[in-house]
Amino acid sequence: QVQLVESGGGLVQAGDSLRLSCAASGLTFSSYAMGWFRQAPGKEREFVGAVSLRGFTIYADSVKGRFTISRDNAKNTVYLQMNSLKPEDTAVYYCAAGSGLAYISSVYPYWGQGTQVTVSS
C-alpha cells in the first residue's frame, strides 16, 4: 500500500531553519505531484506548496521566498526546506501525493501522518 512518512520536524527558534523530508513507498513516485500542507491547532489544514512531476513548484503567499520544495525521484523523497521560520509557522506538516499540481487538499488522495514543527519566539 501507499505510505508517505514525514520526518525532520522539531522545536526551533524564530529565524531558524528546518528541512522536512517525506519518503514515499508503494507508488511510482515520479508519476505523482507532491504537496505539503500544514495544520495549526484550531485551524483548518492549509496549503504550503507543491512540486510537479518535472520539478515545477508553487507556494502559498505566506511562505513564498522562505520555503523551498524539491524532490529526488531516485530516493522517492520530497523535501521542504524552511528558512526564516516564524512562530506562525507552528503546525503539523503533512506531505501528500496526487496526480496533479494543486492548491486544494482534496486533489491529493495519499497523505502522510504528519510531523510537528514548533517555532518559539
Residue whose C-alpha cell is 520539478: 55
The three cell numbers of residue 25 are 513507498
Q: Cβ distance 85 to 18 under 8 Å?
A: yes
Distances in whole angstroms, Cα of residue 85 to Cα of each of 38, 60, 68? 14, 15, 12
- pLDDT digit of tens for each residue in the chain (121 aa)? 999 999 999 999 999 999 999 999 999 999 999 999 999 999 999 999 999 999 999 999 999 999 999 999 999 999 999 999 999 999 999 999 998 888 899 999 999 999 999 999 9
The number of beta carbons lying within 10 Å of the beta carbon of residue 12 is: 17
Residue 102 pLDDT: 85
Strand-pairing partners, residue 71, are 78
Residue 90 pLDDT: 98
Residue 100 pLDDT: 84
Residue 95 pLDDT: 98
